[in-house]
């Protein structure tokens, strides 16, 4: 399958790093569907300080963005470190449920990263090199 659209899943506090990843992908000819990268909320926002309607709209927007992507790239973290919010894990679950192609960059963070259909990369540069052959 030719990959045209990609969703980037990572904890919100990695937004600056993922904006650079999105730029790399766009320069390589892909569309990034992750609108959360354009949010103006502070990176460590306290969920209880945000109106429920706004949180709901963010959640539905992210679900839609995952569904409209051809693939999801999950940026994993050390599995011995706690996950405080976990939205990126939910996004990966949606992608698994919809049989989307999934790449994980970083360590195998949870049991779903061991699925046969999930492809792993140690670095973003390794992942991008493979993606260059999937697009265009």
Which of 37, 28, 30 minimizes the C-alpha distance to 8?
A: 37
Q: pLDDT value at position 47? A: 61
If you ran DSSP here, which 8-state letter would residue 31 be given?
A: E
Q: pLDDT value at position 120? A: 96
If you ran DSSP here, which 8-state letter would residue 33 be given?
A: -
Structure tokens at 23: 């730029």
Per-residue pLDDT of the chain (136 residues; tens, 9 = 90+): 689 999 999 988 889 999 999 999 999 999 999 999 998 765 455 666 667 777 778 889 999 999 999 999 999 987 777 666 778 999 999 999 999 999 999 999 889 999 999 999 999 999 999 998 765 5
- HEC string of 68-132? CCCEEEEECCCCCCCCCCCHHHHHHHHHHHCCCEEEEECCCCCHHHHCCCEEEECCHHHHHHHHC
Q: pLDDT value at position 74? A: 96
Please identify which residue in the block is written with the tokens 């779903």.
112
Mapped onto helix, strand or coil, the DSSP state of residue 46 is coil
Mapped onto helix, strand or coil, the DSSP state of residue 32 is strand
Domains of the chain: 5-131 (3.40.50.450)
Residues 69, 134: contact at Cβ < 8 Å?
Answer: no
Q: Could you tell me the pTM of the whole model?
A: 0.88
């Amino acid at each position: 399958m030719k990959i045209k659209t990609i969703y980037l899943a990572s904890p919100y506090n990695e937004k600056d790093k993922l904006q650079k990843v999105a730029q790399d992908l766009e320069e390589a000819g892909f569309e990034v569907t992750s609108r959360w990268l354009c949010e103006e909320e502070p990176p460590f926002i306290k969920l209880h300080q945000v109106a429920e309607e706004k949180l709901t709209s963010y959640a539905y927007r992210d679900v839609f963005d995952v569904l409209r992507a051809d693939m999801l790239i999950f940026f994993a973290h050390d599995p011995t470190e706690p996950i405080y919010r976990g939205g990126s894990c939910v996004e990966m679950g949606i992608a698994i449920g919809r049989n989307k192609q999934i790449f994980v960059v970083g360590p195998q963070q949870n049991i779903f990263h061991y699925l046969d259909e999930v492809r792993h990369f140690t670095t973003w540069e390794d992942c991008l090199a493979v993606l260059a052959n999937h697009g265009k």
